[in-house]
Structure 1
Amino acid sequence: MIFLTVFTPAYNRASTLPRTYESLCDQECKEFIWLIVDDGSTDETASLVKEWQKKENGFEIQYIYKKNGGMHTAHNVAYENIHTELNVCIDSDDRMAKGAVKKIKTAWLKVRNKNYAGLIGLDADMNTGRIIGKGFPDGLKETTLGGYYASGGEGDKKLVYRTDVINSVPQYPVFEGEKYVGLVYKYTLIDQKYKLFVMNDVLCDVEYQTDGSSNTMFRQYLKNPKGFAFLRKVAMTYPTSKKRLIRDCIHYCSSSLIAGNKKYIVESPRKLLTVLCTPLGCILTSIIRKKAINN
Structure 2
Amino acid sequence: MATLTVFTPTYNRAYVLKQCYDSLCRQTCKDFVWLIIDDGSNDNTKEIVEKWMANDNGFEIRYVYKKNGGMHTGHNKAYELIDTELNVCIDSDDFMPDDAVELIVNFWEENKDSSYSGIIALDVYKNGQVIGKELPNKKSTTLSGYYQNGGQGDKKLIYRTEIINKYPPYPEFEGEKFVPLDYKYLLADQDYELLIMNKPVCVVEYMEDGSSKNMLRQYYKNPRGFAFMRKVSMKYGTGFLKNFKTCIHYVSSSFISKNRKFVKESPRKGMTVLATPFGFALYLLVLYNNREGK
State TM-score, norm by structure 1. 0.97
- Residues 56-106 of structure 1: per-residue CA shift (max 9 Å, x gap): 000000000000000000000000000000000000010112200010011
Which residue does the alignment assign to 2:129? 130
Deviation of 1:211 (Å):
1.3
Q: How far, CA to CA, are the matches of 1:291 and 1:135 in structure 2?
A: 34
Q: What is the aligned partner in structure 2 of residue 225 from structure 1?
A: 223
* Residue in 2 that maps onto 1:79: 79
Identical aligned residues as a percent: 56
- Structure 2 unaligned residues grouped into runs of 5+: none
RMSD: 1.1
Matched residues in 1 for 2:65 and 2:145: separation?
36
Cα distance in structure 2, aligned partners of 1:113 and 1:159? 16
Question: 2: distance between equivalents of 1:29 and 1:97?
Answer: 11
Classify the secondary structure of the residue corresponding to 2:116: coil
Give yes or no for contact 1:147–1:240 (8 Å, CA) kept in 2: no
Query: What is the SS of the residue equivalent to 2:290?
Result: helix
1:201 maps to a residue whose letter is K
- Tell me how far 1:242 sits from its aligned partner: 2.3
CA 1:270–1:283: 2 relative to 1, 3 Å: same
Contact residue 36 and residue 62 of structure 1 kept, 8 A: yes
Checking the alignment, whether the CA contact within 8 Å between 1:7 and 1:88 is kept in structure 2 is yes
In structure 2, what is the equivalent of residue 119 of structure 1?
A: 119
Displacement of 1:290 = 1.9
Counterpart in the other structure of 2:94:
94
1-structure distance, mates of 2:140, 2:161: 19
In structure 1, C-alpha distance between the alignment counterparts of 2:238 and 2:87, rounded to whole Å: 26
CA distance in 1, matches of 2:198, 2:39: 32
| Deviates further, 114-123 or 85-94 | 114-123
Which stretch of the first structure deviates more once superposed, 112-121 or 276-285?
112-121
Query: Residues of 2 paired with 1:241 and 1:32: CA distance?
Result: 40
Matches within 5 A, 1:128-277: 128-137=127-136, 139-277=137-275
Structure 1 runs (4+) greater than 3 angstroms displaced: none
Letter in 1 for 2:128: G
For structure 1, which runs of at least 5 residues remain unmatched after alignment?
none
CA distance in structure 2 between the aligned counterparts of 1:152 and 1:231, rounded to whole angstroms: 22
Q: Distance in 1 between matches of 2:289 and 2:215?
A: 9
Distance 1:153 1:243 in 2: 17
Tell me the secondary structure at the aligned position of residue 95 of structure 1: coil
Q: How far, CA to CA, are the matches of 2:154 and 2:169 in structure 1?
A: 22
Partner-residue secondary structure (3-state), 1:153 = coil
Taking a change above 3 Å as real, the CA distance of residues 240 and 157 of structure 1, as seen in their structure-2 partners, is farther
Query: Which residue pairs with 1:48 in the alignment?
Result: 48
Question: What displacement does 1:129 show?
Answer: 1.5
Aligned to 1:37: 37
Aligned length: 293
Offset of residue 112 of structure 1: 1.5
Question: Do the aligned residues in 2 keep the contact of 1:218 with 1:289 (CA within 8 Å)?
Answer: no
Q: Give how far 1:114 is off.
A: 4.6
Q: Tell me the amino acid that sits aligned with residue 120 of structure 2.
A: I
User: Which amino acid is the alignment partner of residue 37 of structure 1?
Assistant: I
